[in-house]
Amino acid sequence: MAKILMGPKTWLYPAPALLIGANVDGKPNFMAVAWGGIANSEPPMVAIAIRPNRYTYKGISQNSTFSVNIPSVDLVKETDYCGITSGAKVNKAEACKFNVFYGKLGNAPLIEQCPVNLECKVAHTLELGSHSLFIGRIEETHISEDCLTDGKPDMNKLKPFIFLPEPNYQYLAFGEFIGKAFHIFQELKVKE
Amino acid sequence: MAKILMGPKTWLYPAPALLIGANVDGKPNFMAVAWGGIANSEPPMVAIAIRPNRYTYKGISQNSTFSVNIPSVDLVKETDYCGITSGAKVNKAEACKFNVFYGKLGNAPLIEQCPVNLECKVAHTLELGSHSLFIGRIEETHISEDCLTDGKPDMNKLKPFIFLPEPNYQYLAFGEFIGKAFHIFQELKVKE
CB-CB contact of A115 with A147 (8 Å)? yes
Please state the φ and ψ torsions of residue A139, each to the nearest 5 degrees. Answer: -95, -25
- In this prediction the pTM is 0.95
Q: Decide if A185 and B83 are in contact by the 8 Å CB cutoff.
A: yes
Closest CA to A15 of A115, A168, A164: A164
Q: How much is the pLDDT for B117?
A: 98
Residue A192 has pLDDT above 60, yes or no: no
Residue B192 has pLDDT above 70, yes or no: no
List CB contacts of A24: < 8 A, sequence separation 6 or more: A55, A56, A58, A59, A62, A87
The confidence band for A184, taking pLDDT boundaries of 50, 70 and 90, is confident
Taking residues B22-46, report their average pLDDT.
97
Tally Cβ neighbours within 10 Å of residue B53: 10
Residue in A76, A146, A178 closest to B1 by CB: A146
Residue B40 has pLDDT above 80, yes or no: yes
Residue B62 distance to chain A (closest CA, Å): 22
Q: Decide if A185 and B80 are in contact by the 8 Å CB cutoff.
A: yes
Q: Decide if A11 and B116 are in contact by the 8 Å CB cutoff.
A: yes
Q: How much is the pLDDT for A37?
A: 97
Q: How much is the pLDDT for A137?
A: 98
Residue B103 has pLDDT above 90, yes or no: yes
pLDDT per position as a tens digit, A92-106: 999 999 999 999 999
Residue B41 has pLDDT above 90, yes or no: yes
CB pairs under 8 A between A and B: 381
Taking residues A150-162, report their average pLDDT.
91
The confidence band for A188, taking pLDDT boundaries of 50, 70 and 90, is confident
Q: Which chain A residues touch B161 with a CB distance below 8 Å? A: 178
Query: How many Å apart are CA A4 and CA B185, to the nearest integer?
Result: 35
Taking residues A140-155, report their average pLDDT.
94
Chain mean pLDDT for chain B:
94
Q: Decide if B141 and A49 are in contact by the 8 Å CB cutoff.
A: no
Residue B100 has pLDDT above 60, yes or no: yes
Q: Decide if B176 and A173 are in contact by the 8 Å CB cutoff.
A: yes
Q: How much is the pLDDT for A107?
A: 98
Which of A1, A13, A79, A161 has the most B C-beta neighbours within 10 Å, making it the best mutation to test the interface with B? A13
Half-sphere CA count of B113, side-chain side, radius 13 A: 15
List CB contacts of A163: < 8 A, sequence separation 6 or more: A15, A16, A17, A32, A34, A170, A171, B181
Q: Decide if A158 and B13 are in contact by the 8 Å CB cutoff.
A: yes
Residue B8 has pLDDT above 70, yes or no: yes
First to last CA, chain A: 28
Q: Which chain B residues touch A54 with a CB distance below 8 Å? A: none
Query: How many Å apart are CA A61 and CA A57, to the nearest integer?
Result: 6
pLDDT per position as a tens digit, B151-162: 999 988 999 999
Q: How much is the pLDDT for B191?
A: 65
Residue A165 has pLDDT above 90, yes or no: no
The confidence band for B168, taking pLDDT boundaries of 50, 70 and 90, is confident
Tally Cβ neighbours within 10 Å of residue A56: 26
Q: How much is the pLDDT for A168?
A: 75
Closest CA to A124 of A143, A113, A137: A137
Q: Decide if A4 and B145 are in contact by the 8 Å CB cutoff.
A: yes
Taking residues A156-167, report their average pLDDT.
88
Q: Which chain A residues touch B130 with a CB distance below 8 Å? A: 40-42
Which of B1, B4, B9, B11 has the most A C-beta neighbours within 10 Å, making it the best mutation to test the interface with A? B11
- % residues pLDDT > 90 (chain B): 82
Residue A191 has pLDDT above 70, yes or no: no
pLDDT per position as a tens digit, A18-47: 999 999 999 999 999 999 999 999 999 999
Chain mean pLDDT for chain A:
94
Residue in B47, B78, B141 closest to A188 by CB: B78
pLDDT per position as a tens digit, B130-157: 999 999 999 999 999 999 999 999 988 9
Residue in A4, A45, A101 closest to B143 by CB: A4
How far is CA B119 from each of CA A91, A126, B140, rounded to the nearest angstrom?
41, 21, 5
Q: Which residue has the higher pLDDT, B87 or A113?
A: A113
Query: How many Å apart are CA B91 and CA A168, to the nearest integer?
Result: 39
- % residues pLDDT > 70 (chain B): 98
Tally Cβ neighbours within 10 Å of residue A134: 25
CB-CB contact of A22 with A109 (8 Å)? yes
Closest CA to A38 of A112, A116, A99, A100: A116
Q: How much is the pLDDT for B178?
A: 79
Let me know if A120 is exposed, middle or buried by CB neighbors in 10 A (0-12, 13-18, 19+): buried
The confidence band for A169, taking pLDDT boundaries of 50, 70 and 90, is confident
Which of A169, A185, A187 has the most B C-beta neighbours within 10 Å, making it the best mutation to test the interface with B? A185
Computed from CA positions of residues A16, A20, A91, A116, in that sequence, does the dihedral angle turn out positive or negative?
positive
Q: Which chain B residues touch A123 with a CB distance below 8 Å? A: 128
Residue in B12, B70, B80 closest to A182 by CB: B80
